[in-house]
A = this chain, B = another copy of it.
Amino acid sequence: MALASAFAYHEPMSQDPASLGARFILTREAIEAMAGAEKVHFLNANGRRTNKSLGDATGLTGFGIHLIEIPPGADSTEYHVHYQEDECVYVLAGQARVTLDEQPFDLGPGDFVGLPAGGPAHVFHNPGPDVLRCLVVGGRLAHDVADYPRLGKRLYRNEGTWNLVDLANVTDPKAAPGSRVGSK
């Protein structure tokens, strides 16, 4: 059929329900059984979490979605803010303390935090005795800029390349007296 090729709309992927389900469905039991990646943030040794990327496991590329587990006393990452990418967190189990622009807030299961690009700066901490489990969703843009305000660092990410600089080294050519810089 001419249409079939128009958008390469696949023929049904499989007549075998088991293989179709295995590819796109992660049951609660399967998620629990996932090994997860043990991650330590490169700028915060206490930023320790187990990361199960549900999106990667089912072939998503447009955004990241992860079930993360933060042990008692640990942080999610280093306190930061993204300028291009949105992020959000939905608490599934345990206690969380989120810091937003240096203000602390206590959260529990069913609570949601939306973190639009540009602010506020944020970090999550597990203040409780049990593992903190959250769903985390984040953009996966080709280009992002993020600040680590407590460390005075800025990170530029461009198509897989990461550049970390000191904020004190950054200058704005447009702010120079008499500047005439402009786009091509």
List chain A positions with a Cβ less than 8 A from chain B.
Answer: 2-3, 5-10, 12-14, 17, 20-21, 24-28, 31, 37, 39-40, 42-43, 54-55, 57-66, 81, 83-88, 90, 98, 100-103, 105, 107-120, 135-143, 145, 147, 149, 154-156, 158-159, 161-176, 179-184
Contact = CB atoms under 8 A, between A and B. Distances in A.
B6 A184 contact: no
A184 B140 contact: yes
A161 B9 CA distance: 11
Contact of A31 (B65, B110, B167): B110
A36 to B, nearest CB: 13
A125 to B, nearest CB: 15
A116 B86 contact: no
Contact of A173 (B117, B155, B166): B155
A59, A62, A84, A108 interface centre (most CB from chain B within 10 Å): A62
A17 B55 contact: no
B28 A184 contact: no
Contacts of A13: 101, 119-120
Contacts of A55: 86, 88, 114
B174 A162 contact: yes
Given A101-B13, A170-B6, A184 B110 contact: no
A162 B181 contact: yes
Contacts of A116: 24, 58-61
